[in-house]
Amino acid sequence: MSPPKENVSLLFKLYCLTVMTLVAATYTVALRYTRTVGAELYFSTTAVCITEVIKLFLSMGILARESGSLARLITSLKENVFGSPKELLKLSVPSLVYAVQNNMAFVALSNLDAAVYQVTYQLKIPCTALCTVLMLNRTLSKLQWFSVFMLCGGVILVQWKPAQATKVQVEQNPWLGFGAITIAVLCSGFAGVYFEKVLKSSDTSLWVRNIQMYLSGIVVTLVGVYMSDGAQVLEKGFFYGYTCFVWLVIFLASVGGLYTSVVVKYTDNIMKGFSAAAAIVLSTVASVVLFGLQITVTFTLGAILVCVSIYFYGLPRQDTTKIQPSETKSSKERLVAV
């Protein structure tokens, strides 16, 4: 999965983006299947925790293969993981921020109309681009910024669902909802770009970084299991409702997570966003064939916008997937000047 050379070829980048897109699309279709074709209800919090565990073991397996022997693997883990508490703490930041993001997204969904939530939550796409510029000292052309906002609009249209009238009146606090969605959007942009900066600011192996992050991720998700479903898990069991399809979803989520880290390492978070948008389109098209989902005008328009935005963003430009320390000073001067 890792490239043999330091200078990553365009072909390898395209391979990683393509695999990530296909895995994400397959994951979405499989998840929809488990929810619509009679799969038993299961605890999503435990599924997230198991996903982190599987990603941890997969990363350890890949690191063992790169190390060449079990002794070198153990030495690497002692030096870079268990012997580096500062590095573990550094990689716990994305896990904690993602936990805050997920909770804020839930609060926002509970206090905003579904349509408003759909629109505002997609602001995480331009927010990620902004964090990339500010935190990694990169520049985006006007066409690239235009394509980022076009992608945002395309994803909104692809996922758009008309509001349905309901007799159940739910008390909502719009101000709380907008505050929560703002925090969720900022957390999404910051966590992804922070992880990218950590990956690209040192020569530490990608899989060592993954192991560091997944260890903290397991702790965070276990806390989430206890807080959200603790009593029910104790009563019904940790693996209640798990079927072969649920395990398939978990495995796809795990593989997708690994390829996401590869994409972030060798491309960037903005490209990850474009890949995720393409996965949404592909999974919806697949759902038309598998589940009889009807294609709407808004979906068609949104899919076109997504494809056009990917084309615009991919036009020849200066390589911005690497951190350039020499530009740090000039970037700060530009910020001060503004």
Task: Please write the tens of the pLDDT for every residue from 206-224.
Answer: 999 999 999 999 999 999 8
Percent of the chain with pLDDT over 90: 36
Strand boundaries in the chain, DSSP class E? none
Cα distance between residue 273 and residue 278, in whole Å: 9
In a domain, 71, yes or no: yes
- pLDDT at site 328: 47
In a domain, 41, yes or no: yes
In a domain, 163, yes or no: no
Domain housing 244: 14-140+169-266
Q: How many domains are there within the chain?
A: 1
Task: Please write the tens of the pLDDT for every residue from 141-189.
Answer: 999 999 999 999 999 998 887 655 554 455 778 899 899 999 999 999 9
- Count CB-CB contacts under 10 A for residue 214: 27
In a domain, 160, yes or no: no
Q: Is 0.85 surpassed by the pTM of this model? A: no
In a domain, 130, yes or no: yes
- Count CB-CB contacts under 10 A for residue 122: 22
**Residue 334 — very low, low, confident or very high, per pLDDT cuts 50/70/90?**
very low
Cα distance between residue 313 and residue 125, in whole Å: 13
In a domain, 331, yes or no: no
Cα distance between residue 151 and residue 24, in whole Å: 17
Most confident range (mean pLDDT) of 8-22, 231-245, 303-317 is 231-245
Structure tokens at 44: 């999503």
In a domain, 300, yes or no: no
The three-class DSSP label of residue 2 is coil
Is the pLDDT assigned to residue 94 strictly greater than 50?
Answer: yes
- pLDDT at site 108: 87
Task: Please write the tens of the pLDDT for every residue from 255-290.
Answer: 988 989 999 988 889 988 898 888 888 888 888 877
Cα distance between residue 129 and residue 152, in whole Å: 11
In a domain, 179, yes or no: yes
